């Protein structure tokens, strides 16, 4: 049996009401909200947050493959999957691969992972997706799009949803695209695009799955299908024979159309209410379509997520204006004032600053950060050991810094005592400055930190443990 062994997701803490976008451009406002990154987030950090949720369930010991999918990865040439593997502190022997260019790239990665596990080449694969979707300012896409991260692990042990069948369809249809010279996604949104570029492909793949497996629509408890506009998915579902009650909420009103991250995000939401034996049809679109039919196993009954998708979405902070929303999305593009760091320095600091290792004294057991040769407690200087540090802790003390140059002031500078030992001095993010208290529980989150003339720089921050 091969299938999904865990699911993870991350939707940015910040949202923008579509009403504010409409008012900014003096046009009819849309309904609901779109998820929107903070200035220190990008597609890679969103995918990493989701991946870390998966690893909280499965552990990282048996992960021997990492795939990352995105149409908005922060690097055109640099493996985001390799960086993600390092940030998750996975073994260097771990196979990595990047998938992009299509909105269904995450499901394409799932198909590749299924082949790798099925052949016996890999035992457990982590697949993460992250998207930061930018539409033309003033156009409808700016309302429709949303930012999010999602992830799953595939394997043979602890399977919560067995993959029964797959299907795929290619279609070179001009619907959404972005050239190497485009700053924003281009579309030819119309009824024809919806019917020809979206419905035709997902319906064809859905019908092939049903026919191949000898199923009817009523045999599936849920149809999981991302929506490009909050409406088109219902038409596709009806053509496949599904009733409204079977359609998984595409979260369009709370998140938006979040590209390659959408299918796995919606799968996580569907699995929260699924029962053993339920069949789920998962479809994704983009220059064609990919589809899966899954069967929920008894293992789902022992799965207790720390937080539901609905609870995760309810914890948010609204941008007060469209102008601030735009400032947060463009801040680092306009402030390349960070240092130019050599690869010698980056390689030297990788274990400490990306994998998050500190030192532990074998004599007294004290842990500390950064990596050091002398114990701060007993002054042992003979045999300090490099050890991975926990990524959760409590605020020991903090200050509100109004002088630090950042997109949002004040910056919360915090001292965090990590669970299991070690203390870090780091910035806090995703929080109202007035809500911070000594003793607050926090988790560490890798975020964008300054911007060099030729490089994105990342470092750990902390955010409230919600």
Q: pLDDT tens, 257-287?
A: 999 999 999 999 999 999 999 999 999 999 9
- pLDDT of amino acid 330: 93
Own/partner contacts of 362-369, CB < 8 Å, gap of 24 or more, are 365/421, 366/421, 367/418, 367/420, 367/421, 367/422, 368/421, 368/422, 368/423, 369/418, 369/422, 369/423, 369/424
Question: 3, 154 in Cβ contact below 8 A?
Answer: yes
pLDDT category at 324 given cuts 50, 70, 90 is very high
Q: pTM of the predicted model, to two decimals?
A: 0.96
- Of 76-90, 127-141, 334-348, least confident by mean pLDDT is 334-348
pLDDT digits (tens, 9 = 90+) for 70-116: 999 999 999 999 999 999 999 999 999 999 999 999 999 999 999 99
Contacts with 337 (C-beta within 8 Å, 6 or more apart), sequence order: 405, 450, 451
- pLDDT of amino acid 453: 86
Which residues of the chain form CATH 2.40.50?
A: 343-354+390-464
Mean of per-residue pLDDT scores for the chain: 95
Contacts with 214 (C-beta within 8 Å, 6 or more apart), sequence order: none
In the numeric block, the tokens 């062994």 are attached to 5
At residue 382, does pLDDT exceed 90? Answer: no
- Of 124-133, 272-281, 402-411, least confident by mean pLDDT is 402-411
Average pLDDT over residues 26-31: 89
Token digits for 231?
Answer: 């409406």
At residue 341, does pLDDT exceed 90? Answer: no
In the numeric block, the tokens 């949002």 are attached to 408
Cα distance between the two ends of the chain: 34
Token digits for 57?
Answer: 């369930």
Q: Which residue, among 224, 322, 255, 324, has the nearest Cα to 10 in the 3D structure? A: 255
pLDDT category at 400 given cuts 50, 70, 90 is very high
Q: Which residues of 57-77 are buried (b: 16+ CB within 10 A; e: fewer)?
A: bbebeebbbbbbbbbbbbeee
Q: Is 440 helix (H, G, I), strand (E, B) or coil?
A: coil
- pLDDT of amino acid 84: 98
- pLDDT of amino acid 286: 96
Average pLDDT over residues 385-410: 95
Which residues of the chain form CATH 3.40.47.10?
A: 3-334
- Residue % of the chain over a pLDDT of 70: 100
- The number of residues making up the chain comes to 466
- pLDDT of amino acid 338: 79
Q: Domain 3-334: what homologous superfamily?
A: Thiolase/Chalcone synthase (3.40.47.10)
pLDDT category at 335 given cuts 50, 70, 90 is confident
Question: 179, 39 in Cβ contact below 8 A?
Answer: no
Q: How many Cα atoms within 13 Å fall on the side-chain side of residue 274?
A: 32
CA-CA distance, 242 to 29, in Å (whole number)?
A: 31
- Residue % of the chain over a pLDDT of 90: 89
CA-CA distance, 164 to 19, in Å (whole number)?
A: 42
Q: Which residues pair with 456 in a beta bridge?
A: 451
- pLDDT of amino acid 304: 79
pLDDT digits (tens, 9 = 90+) for 151-201: 999 999 999 999 999 999 999 999 999 999 999 999 988 889 999 999 999
pLDDT digits (tens, 9 = 90+) for 113-128: 999 999 999 999 999 9
Q: Which residue, among 450, 444, 451, has the nearest Cα to 429 in the 3D structure? A: 444
Token digits for 145?
Answer: 């799009």
Q: What is the side-by-side strand order in the sheet with 317-318?
A: 33-35, 14-17, 317-318
- pLDDT of amino acid 71: 98
pLDDT digits (tens, 9 = 90+) for 432-466: 999 999 999 999 999 998 888 889 999 999 999 97
Pairing verdict, β 33-35 and 14-17:
antiparallel
Domain 343-354+390-464, second-level architecture? Beta Barrel (2.40)
Q: What is the side-by-side strand order in the sheet with 161-170?
A: 95-99, 65-69, 124-131, 148-155, 3-10, 161-170, 288-296, 279-285, 222-224
Handedness of CA 199, 201, 202, 204 (dihedral sign): positive
At residue 239, does pLDDT exceed 90? Answer: yes
Q: Is 196 helix (H, G, I), strand (E, B) or coil?
A: helix
At residue 28, does pLDDT exceed 80? Answer: yes
């Amino acid at each position: 049996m091969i299938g999904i062994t865990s699911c993870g997701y991350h939707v940015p803490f910040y949202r923008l009401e579509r009403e504010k976008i409409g008012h900014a451009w003096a046009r009819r406002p849309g309904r609901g909200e779109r998820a929107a990154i903070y200035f220190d987030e990008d597609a890679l950090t969103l995918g990493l947050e989701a991946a870390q949720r998966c690893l909280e369930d499965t552990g990282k010991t048996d992960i021997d493959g990492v795939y990352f999918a995105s149409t908005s990865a922060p690097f055109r040439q640099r493996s985001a999957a390799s960086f993600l593997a390092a940030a998750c502190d996975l073994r260097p022997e771990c196979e990595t691969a990047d998938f992009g260019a299509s909105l269904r790239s995450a499901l394409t990665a799932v198909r590749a992972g299924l082949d790798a596990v099925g052949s016996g080449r890999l035992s457990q694969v982590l697949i993460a997706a992250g998207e930061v979707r930018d539409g033309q300012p003033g156009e409808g896409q700016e309302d429709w799009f949303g930012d999010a991260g999602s992830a799953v692990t595939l394997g043979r042990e602890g399977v919560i949803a067995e993959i029964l069948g797959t299907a795929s369809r290619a279609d070179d249809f001009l619907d959404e695209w972005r050239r190497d010279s485009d700053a924003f996604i281009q579309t030819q949104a119309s009824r024809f695009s919806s019917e020809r570029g979206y419905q035709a492909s997902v319906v064809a793949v859905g019908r092939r799955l049903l026919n191949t497996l000898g199923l009817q629509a009523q045999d599936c408890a849920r149809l999981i299908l991302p929506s490009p506009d909050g409406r088109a998915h219902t038409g596709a579902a009806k053509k496949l024979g599904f009733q409204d009650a079977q359609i998984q909420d595409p979260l369009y009103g709370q998140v938006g159309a979040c590209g390659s991250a959408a299918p796995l995000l919606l799968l996580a939401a569907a699995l929260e209410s699924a029962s053993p034996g339920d069949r789920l049809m998962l479809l994704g679109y983009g220059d064609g379509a990919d589809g899966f039919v899954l069967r929920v196993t008894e293992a789902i009954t022992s799965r207790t997520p720390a937080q539901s998708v609905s609870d995760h979405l309810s914890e948010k902070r609204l941008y007060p204006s469209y102008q601030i929303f735009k400032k947060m999305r463009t801040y680092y593009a306009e402030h390349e004032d960070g240092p130019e760091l050599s690869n010698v320095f980056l390689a030297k600091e990788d274990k400490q600053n990306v994998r998050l290792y500190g030192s532990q004294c074998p004599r007294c057991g004290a842990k500390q950060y950064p990596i050091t040769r002398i114990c701060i407690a007993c002054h042992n200087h003979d045999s300090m050991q490099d050890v991975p540090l926990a990524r959760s802790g409590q605020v020991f003390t903090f200050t509100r810094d109004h002088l630090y140059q950042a997109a949002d002031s004040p910056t919360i500078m915090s001292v965090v005592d990590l669970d299991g030992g070690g203390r870090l001095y780091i910035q806090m993010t995703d929080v109202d400055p007035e809500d911070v208290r000594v003793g607050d529980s926090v988790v560490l989150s890798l975020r964008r930190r300054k911007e060099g003339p030729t490089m994105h720089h990342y470092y750990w921050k902390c955010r409230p443990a919600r």
